[in-house]
Structure 1
Amino acid sequence: MTDRITGLTLSSVTLPLKHAISDAKVFTGRQRPMTEVAFLFAEVRTESGLEGVGFGYSKRAGGPAQFAHAREVAPDLIGEDPNDIQRLWTKLVWAGASVGRSGASTQAIAAIDVALWDLKAKRAGLSLAKLLGAHRDSVRCYDTSGGFLHEPIEQVLANATASLASGIGGIKIKVGHPSAAVDLARVRAVREHIGAETPLMVDANQQWDRPTAQRIGRALEEFGLVWIEEPLDAYDAEGHAALARSLDTAIASGEMLTSVAEHHELIRHGAVDIIQPDAPRIGGITQFLRLAGLAEHANLIMAPHFAMEIHAHLAAAYPHEPWIEHFDWLHPLFDERLEIRDGRIHLSDRPGLGVTISDQARKWTVDRADLGAPV
């Protein structure tokens, strides 16, 4: 059914974190602890009365830039048929082509793109996963939010216990501490605490050089990890490939890349066993689906990064059994919750993404633009 976009609302929302968060980038002096996350929400309205909701985000700097770019290019959608998502993505890219096809510009488009897919699924009366063609109605999940380096190991162990008791299936902890001995002691403590059969992953957040990654990677082999994440700089495809060939433990990366082309370099080099795209970072669902085709062709496992409200649907539609990263940080932004039990996130049958923006998120709005017909 032909429809027309009549208006959009863009909202910049600042989510305060309960505690300052530190991973290896903080311990090595590259970043300050993270105290908030900036979200860009897009609400797209049509003449038929439907509304689609999408979002993107930026940790630390970048939120205002995403909002400003979206506000500039979004008016080009007024009067367009929202069904033509791929064409509209291209139109928005070319509207801001002078600032590139990756990074903040396409991350700004991502929120709108997600809203258009949400809208399309709602029109069909289907969840987004069903619209895309789901392979499963639940996805394996692991927790990250309880394993950061700023927390003493006793708290990490307590967090792991609580996560597993809540139905989450695996535990990921941060490594990349300036002391390799500290890293190994923390991993050993968690492995002994959760047992040999519980899936355990580690994430170095790009903080090792090649020799260090090789040495610590070998030392980690005894713990039976599901993967070692971002052991090297995210753009070091050759280094990741060499590491993947030399270690038994799977290598995972991709979350920091901001385009399909950058992920293709990982795939082309055989740099990862597990690819970790982030739909809001690479330009939305339209681009994620392009990447998913490449990853499937390469027979890669997929473990999308963050934003589980979006990625649960995309992972459910990926042919090979994936993983989803669980973060509880985003809970205050939405009225709904994903169901978690038996180690898996279970998708609801609510149309679209199945989420609505909460009143609390509205209160955290720091900037807003209403485009086209009034709300």
Structure 2
Amino acid sequence: MSMIESNVYIETDIASQRAGAATTDRIEWLKLSLTVLPLAAPISDAKVLTGRQKPLTEIAFIFAEIRTRQGFEGIGFGYSKRAGGPGMYAHAKEIAPALLGEDPNDIARLFNKLLWAGASMGRSGLTTQAIAPFDIALWDLKAKRANLPLAKLLGGHRDSVQCYNTSGGYLSTPLEKVLENVELSRANGIGGIKIKVGQPDTSIDYKRVKAVRERLGEGFPLMVDANQQWDRVTAQRFCRKLEPFDLTWIEEPLDCYDVEGHAALSASLDTAIATGEMLTSFNEHAQLIQARAADFVQPDAPRVGGITPFLQIMSLASFKGLKLAPHFAMEIHLHLAAAYPEEPWLEHFEWLEPMFNERLELREGRMWVPNRPGLGFTLSDQALAWTVDTAEFGKRP
């Protein structure tokens, strides 16, 4: 243990000794892992076609495993696509010792402690994303202590969530293959289809949307995602052109920080607007929600800092009467969506399945909450094989 880690452990242990009788457990040990998931083939969305990003070939994950003196355990993760994973991992290692000796039940306080530990780098972006693995692991631990699925600990409104697929509709996938993927997804029990748009030539987007709508038929939920690549004029014109296709929503038509533009677009269209996946804090989402800049909010728990800020976003969105469609990471978001008052949507990606020993149940257009305590997943041998670095803190169990 380094001098810095040692000092933090002593300070937190002294603080925990001052705790009242309600504090009965302490965080004794935690482990961080940097794991890189390779994708089967390069993936491209509109950000690649406009030259702003390179094709996606791998995803970096930061896993946090936490164990307490009483033997309770929790696991959580954050992730980064394309770039940033090693930076998140480095920051997570810096702040990890601050949890040693703390009561694992004080999740909101610990979130704030970790947030302020890196506040000189800001309270959004990488600093909040590096907190997410710890925060999610603490919620997993708390639900396991109660012997409940996390959705039930939070107070579930439903045991299943309607689920749509995204992974089969990327711009790097030829149209004929997209149509094949549509059929396969429906056969596997998916409840909705989302395809990518946002190409420099909108006529190509129109052709793809038209073909998918015709293949699905009327009434089957269909969404499109422009990945922030339109300007206001293009978005206004093309979104109007898409309205006859009866889309469930049009996602990220503008830059994620263009709250004013999204609000104007949302007010002018019959089709719902969805955005929020790229925002990395509660405050950023609050600006979006208070401006009524979207009909569907799309927070991502690993990106906003974990489940603690995600629950704040959920509460505000519900108060404002907005719908919820969390981004990516269905292994986490299934539980959170099940606890939302209004019927939400869950995004289906099969990419993460090799990382875990368990599988989620998809049938009749919905994903079903498992009966396993906590989040209900454990790391597979394959995840361990893809791990490139680990760091441990505290007393080894």
Q: Which TM-score applies when normalising by structure 1?
A: 0.99
Deviation (angstroms), 1:374 = 1.7
Q: Distance in 2 between matches of 1:71 and 1:152?
A: 42
Residue of structure 1 in register with 2:336 after alignment: 314
Q: 2:143 aligns with which of 121, 132, 135?
A: 121
Q: Which runs of 4+ in 1 moved over 3 A?
A: none
Q: 2:262 aligns with which of 240, 262, 266?
A: 240
Asked if 1:370 corresponds to 2:392, the answer is yes
Residue of structure 1 in register with 2:12 after alignment: none
Cα offsets for 1:343-372 (capped at 9, x unmatched): 000011100000001110011011110111
- 1:3-18 equivalences under 5 Å are 3-18=25-40
Q: Distance in 2 between matches of 1:210 and 1:28?
A: 16
- 1:67-86 equivalences under 5 Å are 67-86=89-108
Deviation (angstroms), 1:93 = 1.0
Residue of structure 2 in register with 1:137 after alignment: 159
Q: Distance in 1 between matches of 2:299 and 2:128?
A: 14
Q: Distance in 2 between matches of 1:169 and 1:94?
A: 41
Cα offsets for 1:233-262 (capped at 9, x unmatched): 000000001100111000000000001111
Residue of structure 2 in register with 1:35 after alignment: 57
User: How many equivalent pairs are there?
Assistant: 375
Cα offsets for 1:293-352 (capped at 9, x unmatched): 100011000000000000000000000100000000000110001100000000111000
The code of the aligned residue for 2:369 comes to: L
Q: Distance in 1 between matches of 2:218 and 2:67?
A: 50
C-alpha contact (below 8 Å) 1:28/1:178 kept by paired residues: yes
The code of the aligned residue for 1:23 comes to: D
Q: Which runs of 5+ in 2 are unaligned?
A: 1-22
Q: Distance in 2 between matches of 1:133 and 1:338?
A: 20
The code of the aligned residue for 1:108 comes to: A
Q: 1:21 aligns with which of 43, 49, 70?
A: 43
Residue of structure 1 in register with 2:188 after alignment: 166
Cα offsets for 1:119-152 (capped at 9, x unmatched): 0000000000000000000000000000000111
The code of the aligned residue for 2:43 comes to: I
Q: Distance in 2 between matches of 1:343 and 1:93?
A: 38
SS of structure 2 residue aligned to 1:345: strand
Q: Distance in 1 between matches of 2:354 and 2:267?
A: 42
Q: Distance in 1 between matches of 2:259 and 2:166?
A: 24
The code of the aligned residue for 1:365 comes to: T
Q: 2:126 aligns with which of 99, 104, 108?
A: 104
Asked if 1:349 corresponds to 2:371, the answer is yes
Q: Distance in 2 between matches of 1:300 and 1:84?
A: 29
Residue of structure 2 in register with 1:63 after alignment: 85
The code of the aligned residue for 1:356 comes to: T
Deviation (angstroms), 1:68 = 0.6
C-alpha contact (below 8 Å) 1:2/1:83 kept by paired residues: no
Asked if 1:324 corresponds to 2:352, the answer is no
Q: 1:152 aligns with which of 174, 196, 199?
A: 174
The code of the aligned residue for 1:182 comes to: I
- 1:291-306 equivalences under 5 Å are 291-306=313-328
Deviation (angstroms), 1:3 = 1.1
Q: Which TM-score applies when normalising by structure 2?
A: 0.94
Residue of structure 2 in register with 1:195 after alignment: 217
Residue of structure 2 in register with 1:257 after alignment: 279
Deviation (angstroms), 1:163 = 0.6
SS of structure 2 residue aligned to 1:69: helix
Compare CA radii of gyration and give the structure with the larger one: 2
The code of the aligned residue for 2:330 comes to: M
Q: 1:45 aligns with which of 67, 71, 85?
A: 67
- 1:184-223 equivalences under 5 Å are 184-223=206-245
The code of the aligned residue for 1:62 comes to: G
Cα offsets for 1:41-61 (capped at 9, x unmatched): 000011111110000100011
Cα offsets for 1:218-239 (capped at 9, x unmatched): 1100100000000000000000
Q: Distance in 2 between matches of 1:343 and 1:248?
A: 25
